Amino acid sequence: MSYIVKCFECGRKVTDGLLDSCPKCGGLLTVEMDLSPLVRKELKDLRKEPLGVWRYAPFLPVDRRKAVSLLEGGTPLYHCKGLGKKLGMKDLRVKYEGANPTGSFKDRGMTVGVSRAVELGCKVVGCASTGNTSASLAAYAAKAGLGCVVLLPSGKVALGKLAQAMFYGAKVITIDGNFDEALDIVRQLAKEGELYLLNSINPFRPEGQKTVVFEILDQLDLHVPDLIVLPVGNAANIWAVYKGLTEFRDLGWIDKMPRLVGVQASGSNPIFKAFQEGKRDFKPVEHPETVATAIRIGNPASGRKALKAIYDTDGVAVEVTDEEILAGQKLLGRTEGVGVEPASAASIAGVMKLRQSGEIAADERVVCICTGNLLKDPDTIIKNSGEILKSKATMEAVKRLMAQ
């Protein structure tokens, strides 16, 4: 495996492993893998390994033999026939990332990112987070025996995620500000050498995250879906998916690209707004707000990468309200038995909206990436579910309630 790290904006090669941005123009970094060892290979050559992130080791910029792994990836791709029927769709699939070791897609990026931290000899890792990144980083840092610091927006992190970060032994610091402010602080701490930054601006994180689309293509035997739909917060994941697709395409393993659909909450929608105006850059939203706290981000660090991913695939950015998100979450649960957190349900809500407007045709094959597990955010579910029935401890009393 060989690769270079270069600037996404100006193309400059960057060799200092501790930098998170270009020393010349300040642009984000990206990894360019040398795929030549794979040129004469086919996907089936990788299938000796179990489905999961490390099946795709030749596409990853760390040594798999030294990888810090919790056996991430290998998540189900559900064929949602019931929900598809309800929405008037022939072929709707859900890639259920809630089945990862810490319950979200972040584990794909963290196995690679924390492996990189170990390779560099770093002793302390850190991140800003809306919750899932901190949960994942805390677990992988524990596995690797590294110190871990996470900065969270006070009062705006779902309970399950907070519990995870605390449980795995991270130093949990909540700030009286939002995610964007937390990220500014942690970037500064990294610059001063206090920690190794493992937010998704670290170019090794999207390298792991791109494996979600490798798996989708693998599970579909390389039949490329028409659309892939996913939520957009800090905006690295849609970039990761795009990058993975280009790598399979460049090898000739697929011959077309799916359209990428980025879904944002209407209270945190800078990418949607930029897309509406046909722009490749975005204006930050100052006070982002949404029930989908995982994507409550006004100034997405990888926003420019996300817009490239959308434009280059002839994709779409769409916004959905909190009500639409909660309706999508409930519908998925009650028609398919699949439980996802609100941010993940944004992708379902996005499909519902695009199907209604006719942007998605009835016979198109659509894959929704549902990024996190239902149990991450029990408060939101309880608040938006019906009442619990209370009964005396007798069979008659229970029967009366059953009959109501």
Ligand X SMILES: Cc1ncc(COP(=O)(O)O)c(C=O)c1O
CB under 8 Å to 63, separation ≥6 — which residues? 1, 115, 119
The one of ligand X, Zn ion, none whose footprint includes residue 371, by CB under 5 to 8 A per kind, is: ligand X
CA angle (372 as vertex; 368, 375 as ends), nearest 5: 130
User: Least distance in Å: CB of 193 to ligand X?
Assistant: 26
- Comparing CA positions, the residue from 302, 266, 265 lying closest to residue 282 is 302
| 75 is a site residue for ligand X (CB under 6 A) | no
Contact call for residue 90 and Zn ion (CB under 5 A): no
Max alpha carbon distance in the chain (Å)? Answer: 76
Total of chain residues touching ligand X, rule CB under 6 A: 19
Three-state secondary structure call for residue 368:
strand
Distance CA 241, CA 260 (A): 9
Rounded-to-integer distance, Cα 315 and Cα 312, Å:
7
Using CB under 6 A as the binding rule, whether residue 299 contacts ligand X is answered as no
- Which residues from 360-399 bind ligand X, rule CB under 6 A? 371-372
Q: Name the binder of 237 from Zn ion, ligand X, none, CB < 5-8 A by kind.
A: ligand X
With binding defined as CB under 6 A, does residue 343 bind ligand X?
yes
d(CA 351, CA 36): 37
Q: Which is nearer to ligand X, 61 or 206 (CB)?
A: 206
Among 294, 316, 318, 349, binds ligand X (CB under 6 A): 294
Count of C-beta atoms within a 10 Å radius of residue 66: 10
**Interacting positions 103-142 with ligand X (CB under 6 A):** 104, 130, 132-133
Task: CB nearer to ligand X: give 46 or 228.
Answer: 228
CB of 100 to Zn ion, least distance (A): 33
Q: Is 399:393 a contact under the CB 8 Å cutoff?
A: no
Tell me: does residue 234 bind ligand X (CB under 6 A): yes
Question: Of ligand X, Zn ion, none, which one does residue 339 interact with (CB within 5 to 8 Å by kind)?
Answer: none
Q: Which does 343 bind (CB under 5 to 8 A by kind): Zn ion, ligand X, none?
A: ligand X
Single residue of 87, 162, 236, 317 touching ligand X by CB under 6 A? 236
Alpha-carbon distance 295 to 237, whole Å?
A: 12
d(CA 262, CA 318): 6
Q: How far is the CB of 262 from ligand X (least distance, A)?
A: 8
Examine residue 341 and tell whether it contacts ligand X (CB under 6 A): yes
Residue 10 interacts with Zn ion (CB under 5 A): yes or no: yes
Chosen from Zn ion, ligand X, none, partner binding at 24 (C-beta under 5 to 8 Å by type): Zn ion
Task: Indicate which of ligand X, Zn ion, none lies near residue 229 (CB less than 5 to 8 Å, by partner kind).
Answer: none
Q: Which does 181 bind (CB under 5 to 8 A by kind): Zn ion, ligand X, none?
A: none
What DSSP line would sit under 154-202, residue for residue?
A: TT-S-HHHHHHHHHTT-EEEEESS-HHHHHHHHHHHHHTTS-EE-STTS
Quote the least distance from Cβ 179 to ligand X, whole Å: 9
Contact at 8 Å (CB) between 385 and 167? no
Q: Which positions from 11 through 70 interact with ligand X, judged by CB under 6 A?
A: none
- Give whole-number Cα distances, 146 to 18, 120, 168, 193, in Å: 16, 12, 11, 15
237 binds ligand X (CB under 6 A): yes
CB of 135 within 8 A of CB of 165?
yes
Binding-site member from 31, 117, 127, 232 for ligand X (CB under 6 A): 232
Q: Is 243 exposed, middle or buried (0-12, 13-18, 19+ CB in 10 A)?
A: buried
Q: Which residues bind ligand X (CB under 6 A)?
A: 104, 130, 132-133, 200, 231-237, 294-295, 341, 343-344, 371-372
Q: Which residues bind Zn ion (CB under 5 A)?
A: 7, 9-10, 12, 22, 24-25, 27
